[in-house]
């Protein structure tokens, strides 16, 4: 017996941890991600049309699955694995049962002088989780991040909360292209997963849509705006129902 522990405590330590509850598994995420990215056979999302990483966390912020759309791990930006997981953490952490908040909706408020300035530094990611294990396992069903909280706050597009028929179930993060394209890929992937039962958000008509209302002065009339990127991401977002232009917050 370990010194200082009662038999009951020792027995509790010996019990296996209960399995985590997840809205999506690795195979589902990989299949739908590949169908949502042009480089792996899906439609264009307006940016570079790169391969992408995706990560899903459950409502407790535990990583459930990490996937990539390419044939091998370095077919997509290697740094985007961590960013995808942090985007998922962000959307989950700032969304509620009755109101979704996309990572894109945090951009304007997190700038200097904004009402969320400093948010990006509020929950540092865990390097011990991100860089644990064997790189050969990154993006597979055995990704070392799975089963652990990764933390991190990202204040640009690509993170969306997941909602099933019972409410919020976690979040998805996508990274590997422009932040605007990442939002489009996440939106399309969430829809194909059937986890887009969004109750409300800061963009009433399109719930947690990306809001392109930042003017030449850098100000967002809504307070939740995101800058446009250099491709056709904004038009594709509007076509998808994933984005709006102008001040739409009520």
Give the pair of three-digit tokens for residue 78.
């290697």
Q: pLDDT tens digits for 119-162?
A: 999 999 999 999 999 999 999 999 999 999 999 999 999 999 99
Q: pLDDT tens digits for 181-212?
A: 999 999 999 999 999 999 999 997 889 999 99
**What residue ranges do the domains of the chain occupy?**
21-202
Q: Find the angle CA(2)-CA(3)-CA(6) to the nearest 5 degrees.
A: 75
Cα–chain center distance at 74: 20
Q: What's residue 9's pLDDT?
A: 44
pTM above the 0.75 mark? yes
Q: How far is CA 40 from CA 24, 77, 169, 182, 191, in A?
A: 20, 15, 27, 15, 18
Give Rg (Cα) of the chain. Answer: 19
* Contacting residues for 146 by C-beta, under 8 A, at least 6 apart: 26, 63, 64, 65, 66
List 88's β-bridge partners, or say none. Answer: none
Q: What's residue 16's pLDDT?
A: 52
Cα–chain center distance at 70: 18
CB-neighbour burial class of residue 43 (10 A; exposed 0-12, middle 13-18, buried 19+): middle
Q: pLDDT tens digits for 84-126?
A: 999 999 999 999 999 999 999 999 999 999 999 999 999 999 9
Cα 178 to Cα 128: distance, rounded to the nearest angstrom: 27
Identify the CATH assignment for 21-202 out of 3.40.800.10, 3.20.20.70, 3.40.50.620, 3.30.450.150: 3.30.450.150
Confidence of residue 15 (pLDDT cuts 50, 70, 90): low
* Contacting residues for 18 by C-beta, under 8 A, at least 6 apart: none
List 164's β-bridge partners, or say none. Answer: 167
């Amino acid at each position: 017996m370990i010194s200082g522990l009662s038999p009951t405590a020792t027995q509790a330590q010996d019990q296996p941890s209960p399995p985590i509850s997840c809205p999506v598994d690795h195979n589902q995420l990989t299949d739908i991600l590949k169908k949502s990215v042009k480089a792996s056979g899906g439609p264009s999302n307006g940016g570079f049309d790169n391969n992408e990483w995706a990560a899903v966390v459950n409502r407790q912020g535990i990583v459930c699955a990490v996937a990539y759309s390419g044939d091998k791990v370095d077919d997509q930006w290697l740094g985007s694995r961590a960013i995808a997981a942090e985007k998922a953490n962000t959307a989950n952490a700032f969304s509620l049962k009755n109101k979704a908040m996309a990572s894109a909706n945090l951009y304007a408020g997190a700038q200097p002088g904004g009402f969320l300035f400093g948010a990006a530094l509020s929950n540092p990611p865990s390097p011990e989780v991100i860089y644990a294990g064997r790189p050969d396992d990154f993006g597979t069903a055995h990704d070392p991040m799975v089963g652990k909280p990764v933390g991190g706050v990202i204040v640009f597009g690509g993170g969306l909360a997941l909602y099933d028929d019972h409410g919020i179930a976690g979040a998805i993060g996508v990274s590997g292209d422009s932040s605007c394209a990442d939002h489009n890929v996440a939106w399309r992937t969430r829809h194909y997963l059937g986890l887009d039962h969004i109750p409300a958000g800061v963009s009433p008509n399109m719930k947690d849509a990306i809001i392109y209302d930042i003017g030449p002065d850098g100000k967002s009339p809504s307070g939740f705006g995101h800058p446009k990127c250099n491709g056709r991401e904004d038009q594709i977002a509007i076509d998808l129902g994933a984005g709006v232009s102008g001040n739409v917050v009520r």
